[in-house]
């Protein structure tokens, strides 16, 4: 199974300041079709997860442009350009390149 | 508009089999590229992927759980059913179903609200 790790696991942030979360996979996430199925999910307190980013850097519909994803192969990053209060929650990276799909442990972002 | 709703018992006893149903609307699981997946989250812990079923009836399971899981679909009812055998208190979790659009980049784009299942005697 592909193991996903995230750093940091907890990230105190300042409103209006940038934040960054790293995600690393134990194997390359490049699929045989050439795509990399690495997604980022946000889970606000008491809410189900929601998709932010898919295929490394594609922002999902309705996601603010302060969220961006980057990376390749085994190393990926989620960046928030200017943190807002509504961004508090846990962020998960997730790979769907290979079965079984796997999640990272989550990074808690709080003010 | 795509919606998904999980349903099932809130409480099960150890060794029992859990049956969860995901009822969805706004898409068809007979459409090429559509998939439904199950994910769970123990209280205060991380998300864990469990299983997935695709439009062509391909099925995939978590390595650690595959001997206990069965996923199936009823396209006419717009439902996906997950059964988990031999329940244990460590299986206490919120169980989510989600849609995957495999034709659009394997987007896990719609999620249910989740259903909390407690395993206790």
What tens digit of pLDDT does each residue of B107-116 get?
888 999 999 9
Q: Which of B48, B107, B112 sits opposite A51 (nearest CB)?
A: B107
What tens digit of pLDDT does each residue of A10-58 get?
989 899 999 999 999 999 999 999 999 999 999 999 999 999 999 999 9
Q: Which of A48, A60, A103 sits opposite B49 (nearest CB)?
A: A103
| Residue in chain A lying closest to B109 (CA) | A51
Nearest to B69 by CA among B120, B104, B18: B18
A44 inside 8 A of chain B by CB: no
Strands B11-12 and A58-59: unpaired
What tens digit of pLDDT does each residue of B34-69 get?
999 999 999 999 999 999 999 999 999 999 999 999
Helices H / strands E in chain B, number of each: 0, 11
Asked if A48's CB is within 8 angstroms of B49's CB, the reply is no
* Chain B residue numbers touching A35 (CB-CB < 8 A): 105-106
Q: What is the per-residue pLDDT for B59?
A: 97
Question: How wide is the angle at C-alpha B104 spanned by C-alphas B99 and B109, nearest 5°?
Answer: 30
Q: Are A34 and A50 in contact (CB under 8 A)?
A: no
């Amino acid at each position: 199974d592909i193991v996903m790790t995230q750093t940091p696991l907890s990230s105190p942030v300042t409103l209006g300041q940038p934040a960054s979360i790293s995600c690393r996979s134990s194997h390359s996430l490049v699929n045989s079709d050439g795509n990399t199925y690495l997604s980022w999910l946000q889970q606000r307190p008491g809410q189900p997860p929601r998709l932010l980013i898919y295929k490394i850097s594609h922002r999902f519909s309705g996601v603010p442009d302060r969220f961006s994803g980057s990376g390749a192969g085994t190393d990926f990053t989620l960046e928030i350009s200017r943190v807002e209060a509504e961004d508090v929650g846990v962020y998960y990276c997730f790979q769907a390149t290979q079965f079984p799909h796997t999640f990272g442990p989550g990074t808690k972002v709080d003010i | 508009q795509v919606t998904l709703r999980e349903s099932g018992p809130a409480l099960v006893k150890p060794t029992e089999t859990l049956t969860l149903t995901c009822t969805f609307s706004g898409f068809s699981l007979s459409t090429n590229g559509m998939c439904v997946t199950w994910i769970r989250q123990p209280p205060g812990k991380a998300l864990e992927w469990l299983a997935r079923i695709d439009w062509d009836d391909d099925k995939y399971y978590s390595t650690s759980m595959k001997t206990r899981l069965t996923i199936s679909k009823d396209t006419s009812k717009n439902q996906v059913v997950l059964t988990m055998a031999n329940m244990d208190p460590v299986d206490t979790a919120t169980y989510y179903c989600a849609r995957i659009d495999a034709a659009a980049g394997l987007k896990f784009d719609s999620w249910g609200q989740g259903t909390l299942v407690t395993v206790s005697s």
